[in-house]
Amino acid sequence: MDNRDRKQYAPATERNRQPILEVLQKVIPKEGNILEIASGTGEHACFFAPYFPNQQWIPSDPDRLLRLSIEAWREDCTGNNLQLPLDINVTLPDWDEKLDDSAIAVIIAINLIHISPWSACQGLMKGVGKLLHSGGILYLYGPYKQKGKHTAPSNEAFDQSLQFRNPAWGVRNLEDVVELAEKYQLILHQIISMPANNLSLIFHHL
Ligand SMILES: C[S@@+](CC[C@H](N)C(=O)[O-])C[C@H]1O[C@@H](n2cnc3c(N)ncnc32)[C@H](O)[C@@H]1O
């Protein structure tokens, strides 16, 4: 299979990558590696990694074909700090033990927790709580309900379409995510409004 056959494309990444990058450039510290959970096609990783040349960008996805896509994008990526993708499924116990915890300063999950069962959010928070040290950063991006209500008709329609595809999926309630994170010493530090009614959430490890 050549590179073109392995590469997958998610058109939304081209729309959201620049606004996400602008947030990441503000919140990512100058040192420490960056672990990306649910990297999907790898387009984000390939776009973001060159902006953080002194840090390793570690992509991951549990889907084998997506890991092949990440590898294909990686081959065309400028710079040399994008690592090979790891097979990480955050619903598996102790997924965090695959990593050398001391090196991870930031963990990123873009469009994961609404397109997976709630158990993925639970597993994500538990592992992130163990992997990050004090001051470490968790970055989440996606749509959220607030106080149980949708913030835009488009998010409500999206939520319905997700639940139609899989009843365990759905736009999460911000307050539930924040409460779960706190159980693992991850404290919401900042909420940033993003285009298309999405939010960037920045958590700091106590
Ligand atoms: C909507 S895609 C988002 C991909 C990418 N972050 C983006 O924004 O284009 C959701 C991704 O979550 C991954 N995923 C689903 N369940 C997961 C789990 N339990 N642990 C880690 N990743 C998971 C899927 O394989 C898929 O790549």
Which one of 37, 113, 115 would you pick to mutate in the ligand 1 pocket, going by the greatest count of ligand atoms within 8 A of its CB?
A: 115
CATH of the domain at 179: 3.40.50.150
Does position 124 have pLDDT exceeding 80, yes or no? Answer: yes
| pLDDT for res 5 | 87
**CB of residue 111 inside a 6 A radius of ligand 1:** yes
Nearest to 27 by CA among 106, 118, 94: 106
Which residue has its alpha carbon closest to ligand 1 atom 4? 40
Residues with Cβ within 8 Å of 141's Cβ and at least 6 positions away in sequence, in order, are 16, 20, 108, 109, 110, 111, 194, 198, 199, 200, 201
| pLDDT for res 183 | 98
On whether the CB atoms of residues 114 and 166 are closer than 8 A, the answer is: no
Domain that holds residue 51: 3-205
Which residue has its alpha carbon closest to ligand 1 atom 5? 40
Higher per-residue pLDDT: 61 or 79: 61
| pLDDT for res 101 | 62
**In the chain, % of residues over pLDDT 70:** 98
pLDDT per residue as tens digits for the range 28-50: 999 999 999 999 999 999 999 99
Cα-based torsion angle of the residue sequence 140, 165, 87, 31 in order, rounded to the nearest 10 degrees: -10
Phi and psi angles of residue 190, each rounded to the nearest 5 degrees, phi first: -155, 145
3-state secondary structure of 37: strand
On whether the CB atoms of residues 47 and 74 are closer than 8 A, the answer is: no
Q: What is the DSSP string of 97-165?
A: GGS-GGGEEEEEEES-TTSS-HHHHHHHHHHHHHH--TT-EEEEEE-EEBTTB-SSHHHHHHHHHHHHH
**CB of residue 40 inside a 6 A radius of ligand 1:** yes
Does position 103 have pLDDT exceeding 80, yes or no? Answer: yes
| pLDDT for res 98 | 87
Into how many domains does the chain fold?
Answer: 1
Nearest to 32 by CA among 54, 49, 60, 47: 54
C-alpha 38 to ligand 1 mean position (Å): 4
Does position 4 have pLDDT exceeding 90, yes or no? Answer: no
Strand-pairing partners, residue 173, are: 145
Residues with Cβ within 8 Å of 164's Cβ and at least 6 positions away in sequence, in order, are none
**CB of residue 191 inside a 6 A radius of ligand 1:** no
